[in-house]
Amino acid sequence: MEEINRNLEEIVKERTKDLLKAMEKAQESDRLKTAFLANMSHEIRTPMNGILGFTQLLKFSEIDSKQQHEYLEIIEKSGARMLNIINDIVDISKIEAGLIVARTAPTNINEQLRHVFSFFRPQALERNLDFSYSTTLSDIDAWVETDSEKFFAILSNLVKNALKFSDKGSIEFGYIRKGDVLEFHVKDTGIGIPAERQQAIFERFIQADIEDRRAAQGAGLGLSIAKAYAELLGGNIWLKSEEGSGSVFYFTLPYKPLSYANSSENKPQNTTAIVKVKDKKNLKKFKVLIAEDDEVSEKLLKIILAKCTDILLTAGNGSQVLETINHHPDIDLIFMDIQMPEINGLEATRQIRKINRDIIIVAQTAFGMLEDREKAKAAGCNDYISKPLKKEEVQAILTKYFSKDCE
């Protein structure tokens, strides 16, 4: 009897210990999530503070044009920062929900590196940093089957991070081939990462928990996104760093070269559709339809397009779009918002394509949403631009399809 009692006591003790451990773990995770939310709230409120605060100053105070310009720049920067955070939150939520899939296609690694380089070069120049990259495979050998958007996201997150934490010195990125693996690196001469933080740095929620954050800004999600993507693409991510003397971030990708070297006809073409440039001297009036249910977005496009269109029509929902096309079958170009009441942009596009294949239809999609773009193309859109709209992107569309200049 005593024997049994003693055994029971042991079991109860063991179980209690397990339970306590589980509870502590749950509390720790709760604490991190609360810290994460507090940080997120701060990261969203700060740029909003800049946007609304300086808008109010523009509205109410008497200021000269120099100040006006300065305030507008602050608003623009705050908006861009806000957008970054929103994109990161959307990405992390998708990762957490298990909604991320790799969409692989032939991708040229060298081209991706060049793209990242030209994307970040202005920032590096502005900050007086020595910025460079290197490629070790020839352009022909640099074709691999991977998800180019995710690859770009990994590399640009690492470069963005390097820029954020380097005040002087250099940033260099590139890759080497190690058998059937490509090993990428991003090297900076920034503040470095203390040894005890190196493990935790890829964990989401973690940055939120540091007391003396040295990050100028940011939700600290970039590296967790990079890690999730690297693993999704069949690779790894890690770092080497010494506090005070910079960091090197590494990640790998499987290397299975696509054998385009021998057959030039199989070489992937640029993914963009065949460009149809209309005759510049065409005397016909240039007719553009803006399909958009949001007034502010419509106004923005209207102002951007004012100088380069002869006739500018608008429609606030899909049914109006179809009606307008009936009355004006000679419309050249439609900027089609996807989310609209009654008939959405995709459905409207499908219906237009049943009767008209000539109109250039450009979808306006939410930034970063790859699915949106694919759906838009599948519905029959020629191209897409992402919201928030940039004047240069709209201009690029007009140049590409119509050789029109909006300046």
* Position of minimal CB gap to Mn ion: 339
Tell me the C-alpha distance between 215 and 17, whole Å. 38
- Using rule CB under 5 A, residue 298 touches Mn ion: no
Number of residues this chain uses to bind Mn ion (CB under 5 A): 3
Tell me how far, at minimum, the Cβ of 316 lies from Mn ion, in Å.
9
Strand partners, 248: 187, 240
Of 182, 224, 219, 183, nearest in space to 201 by CA: 224
Stretch that binds Mn ion, among 47-55, 62-70, 133-141, 331-339 (CB under 5 A): 331-339
Q: What angle do CA 306, 307, 309 make, to 5 degrees?
A: 70
Letter string b/e over residues 379-405, b meaning 16 or more CB atoms within 10 A of that residue's CB = bbbbbbbbbebeeebbbebbebbbebe
Stretch that binds Mn ion, among 31-39, 51-59, 313-321, 329-337 (CB under 5 A): 329-337
Site for Mn ion in 99-118 (CB under 5 A): none
- Using rule CB under 5 A, residue 386 touches Mn ion: no
CA distances from 256 to 36, 265, 374 (A): 39, 20, 26
Exactly one of 293, 298, 332, 372 binds Mn ion (CB under 5 A); which one?
A: 293
Task: Give the residue with the Cβ less far from Mn ion, 219 or 313.
Answer: 313
Site for Mn ion in 120-159 (CB under 5 A): none
Stretch that binds Mn ion, among 153-161, 286-294, 306-314, 368-376 (CB under 5 A): 286-294
Tell me how far, at minimum, the Cβ of 314 lies from Mn ion, in Å.
13
- Using rule CB under 5 A, residue 337 touches Mn ion: yes
Task: Give the residue with the Cβ less far from Mn ion, 188 or 337.
Answer: 337
What are the residue ranges of helices labelled H in 109-212? 109-126, 148-164
Query: In this structure, are residues 109 and 142 in contact, taking their beta carbons and an 8 Å threshold?
Result: yes
Stretch that binds Mn ion, among 45-53, 219-227, 269-277, 290-298 (CB under 5 A): 290-298
Tell me how far, at minimum, the Cβ of 222 lies from Mn ion, in Å.
29
Tell me the C-alpha distance between 386 and 126, whole Å. 26
Task: Give the residue with the Cβ less far from Mn ion, 201 or 394.
Answer: 394
Q: Is 207 helix (H, G, I), strand (E, B) or coil?
A: helix
Exactly one of 123, 319, 339, 351 binds Mn ion (CB under 5 A); which one?
A: 339
Tell me the C-alpha distance between 306 and 346, whole Å. 25
Q: Which DSSP state fits 316?
A: S
Tell me how far, at minimum, the Cβ of 295 lies from Mn ion, in Å.
10
Continuous segment of H or E residues that includes residue 202: none
Stretch that binds Mn ion, among 48-56, 89-97, 98-106, 293-301 (CB under 5 A): 293-301
- Using rule CB under 5 A, residue 314 touches Mn ion: no
Tell me how far, at minimum, the Cβ of 341 lies from Mn ion, in Å.
8
Task: Give the residue with the Cβ less far from Mn ion, 188 or 293.
Answer: 293
Tell me the C-alpha distance between 63 and 74, whole Å. 15
Tell me how far, at minimum, the Cβ of 57 lies from Mn ion, in Å.
30
Angle between helices 148-164 and 109-126 (to 10 degrees): 20
Tell me how far, at minimum, the Cβ of 297 lies from Mn ion, in Å.
7
Q: Which residues sit at the interface with Mn ion, rule CB under 5 A?
A: 293, 337, 339
